[in-house]
């Protein structure tokens, strides 16, 4: 493969950067207008567990409860651990919780509306928001600690191509991925809960793997091509060579998650949707950030502040000699094909 076949990621960076910027601005505006829903484990509230008979439509119960002025609720079904009873759990996210009188009113209303299902209140539990906050802070500390280790790892592994700056811009891509996952929860009106942290951590793992693959290509191509390619040509070539592998990995995982979504939708299990849907979107945009954000940002930094041998490219990003003449590639097509995925 020669440089003419490489996609021009760096040259189209304005378009590539505009997409996440637009998403960021629109999400902030949407969030200001409609707010963010917090799950009961983070906001606190009350969880009522009822046993029932027959079949219950969780969406219908949700509409019934919200229609009586109880605010936004989450409804899920399950089975009691110590018996064969089928249960439905109604969660009210509120800093004040639900008073005993309000619980009795709701129970009487549900029993009347769903008389054929023989609803019986088996458990009432108030949730302290401090425990959810503690869990969130622990997850945040774990993410920040992993960020530090990641920068150190990339700095040492890719020190020949400016590893520290490469690690920093890998983190920029990861921050982009976290925000995209958050945006999905905001737009889909999913409550921020434990699923949010699970999706974030899984997305980050997939994204950083793709980013490291790109940096590894840059390092190998630099050894192979030497000074015959400018930094822009080098990174464009490396990203192009990594596209197939990154997309295949994302498709494989994404199809598996989508299959779960389809099965859950058919079976009426909606609780998993707040994990599966953001997960698919996170995988797609995690791949996008690895290919279209971290690499181009790193090139711009190196061209402006880097002290390496590739900082003397012309305005089109082509490597030139002291007289301004573009240097030609000295690598044969056979050698370059060895790096194709």
Residue-wise pLDDT tens digits, 112-149? 888 888 888 888 887 777 766 777 788 788 888 888 88
Which pLDDT value is given to residue 23? 95
What pLDDT does 333 receive? 43
Q: Tell me the Cα Rg of the chain.
A: 26
Give residue 340's pLDDT band: very low, low, confident or very high (50, 70, 90): very low
309 neighbors 230 (Cβ within 8 angstroms):
no
Q: From CA 277, how far away is CA 264, in angstroms rounded?
A: 12
What value, to the nearest 5°, has the Cα angle with vertex 268 and ends 266 and 274? 100
Q: Report residue 59's pLDDT band, with 50, 70 and 90 as the boundaries.
A: confident
- Strand 120-127 to strand 45-52: parallel, antiparallel, or no bridges (unpaired)? antiparallel
pLDDT of the residue at 80: 61
111 burial type by CB count under 10 A (0-12 exposed, 13-18 middle, 19+ buried): middle
pLDDT at 92: 81
5 compared with 49, residue with greater pLDDT: 49
Q: What is the 3-state secondary structure (H, E, C) of 276-339?
A: HHHHHHHHHHHHHHHHHHHHHHHHHHHHHHCCCCCCCCCCCCCCECCCCCECCCCCCHHHHHCC
CA distance 224 to 229: 10
Which is more confidently placed, 64 or 20? 20
pLDDT at 312: 38
Check whether 339 has a pLDDT greater than 60.
no
pLDDT at site 296: 92
CA-nearest of 65, 128, 126, 68 to 99 is 126
Say whether 50 sits in a helix, a strand or coil. strand
pLDDT for the residue 326: 47
Q: Could you tell me which residue, 119 or 331, shows the higher pLDDT?
A: 119
So what's the pLDDT on residue 99?
A: 77
pLDDT reported for residue 83: 61
At residue 57, the pLDDT reads 81
Q: What is the mean pLDDT of residues 249-265?
A: 85
Mean pLDDT on 26-51: 85
**pTM higher than 0.75, yes or no?**
yes
* Mean pLDDT computed over every residue of the chain: 80
Contact 306, 165 (CB under 8 A): yes
Q: Which residue has the higher pLDDT, 90 or 327?
A: 90
- pLDDT for 81-96, tens place per residue? 566 678 888 888 776 6
pLDDT tens-place string over residues 201-241? 888 888 888 899 999 999 898 888 877 888 899 999 999 99
Q: For the chain, list the domains and their CATH numbers.
A: 3-36+131-337 (1.20.1640.10), 45-127 (3.30.70.2040)
Q: Half-sphere exposure of residue 304, counting CA atoms within 13 Å on the CB side? A: 7
Task: Give the pLDDT confidence score for residue 95 in this predicted structure.
Answer: 64
Range scoring the smallest mean pLDDT among 39-48, 191-200, 244-253, 264-273 = 264-273
35-67 as b/e: b if 16+ CB within 10 A: eebbbbbbbbbbbbbbbbeeebebeebbebbee
Percentage, residues of the chain above pLDDT 90: 21
- Confidence at 19, pLDDT banded by 50, 70, 90: very high
Predicted confidence at residue 293, as pLDDT, reads 93
Find, among 318, 286, 313, 316, the residue nearest to 302 by Cα: 313
Most confident range (mean pLDDT) of 226-230, 241-245, 328-332 is: 241-245
DSSP line for 150-214: HHHHHHHHTGGG-HHHHHHHHHHHHHHHHHHHHHHHHHHT--BSHHHHHHHHHHHHHHHHHHHHH
Q: What tens digit of pLDDT does each residue of 259-288 get?
A: 888 887 777 666 788 888 999 999 999 999
pLDDT on residue 172: 92
Q: What pLDDT does 285 receive?
A: 94
């Amino acid at each position: 493969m020669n440089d003419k076949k490489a996609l021009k990621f760096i040259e189209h960076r304005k378009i590539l950067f505009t997409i996440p910027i637009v998403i960021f601005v629109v999400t902030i505006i949407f969030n200001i207008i409609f707010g963010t829903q917090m799950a009961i484990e983070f906001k606190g509230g009350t969880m009522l567990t009822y046993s029932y008979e027959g079949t219950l439509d969780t969406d219908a119960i949700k509409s019934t409860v919200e229609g009586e002025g109880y605010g936004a609720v989450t409804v899920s079904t399950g089975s009691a651990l110590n018996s064969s009873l089928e249960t439905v759990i109604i969660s009210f996210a509120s800093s004040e919780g639900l008073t005993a009188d309000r619980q009795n009113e709701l129970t009487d209303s549900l029993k009347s509306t769903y008389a054929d299902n023989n609803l019986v209140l088996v458990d009432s539990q108030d949730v302290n928001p401090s425990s959810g906050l503690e869990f969130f802070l622990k997850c945040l500390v774990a993410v920040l600690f992993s960020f530090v280790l990641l920068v150190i790892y990339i700095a040492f592994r890719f020190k020949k191509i400016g590893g520290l700056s490469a690690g920093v811009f890998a983190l920029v891509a990861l921050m982009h991925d976290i925000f995209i996952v958050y945006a999905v929860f905001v737009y889909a009106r999913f409550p921020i809960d434990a699923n949010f942290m699970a999706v974030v951590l899984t997305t980050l793992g997939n994204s950083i793997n793709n980013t490291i693959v790109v940096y590894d290509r840059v390092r190998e191509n630099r050894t192979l091509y030497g000074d015959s390619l400018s930094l822009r040509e080098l990174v464009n070539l490396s990203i192009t060579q990594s596209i197939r592998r990154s997309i295949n990995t994302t498709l494989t995982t994404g199809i598996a998650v989508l299959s779960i979504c389809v099965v859950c939708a058919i079976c009426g299990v909606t609780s998993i949707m707040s994990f599966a849907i953001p997960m698919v979107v996170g995988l797609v945009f995690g791949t996008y950030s690895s290919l279209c954000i971290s690499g181009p940002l790193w090139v711009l930094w190196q061209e402006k502040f880097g002290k390496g041998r590739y900082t003397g490219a012309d305005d089109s990003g082509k490597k030139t000699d002291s007289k301004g003449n573009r240097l030609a590639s000295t690598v044969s097509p056979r050698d370059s094909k060895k790096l194709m995925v």
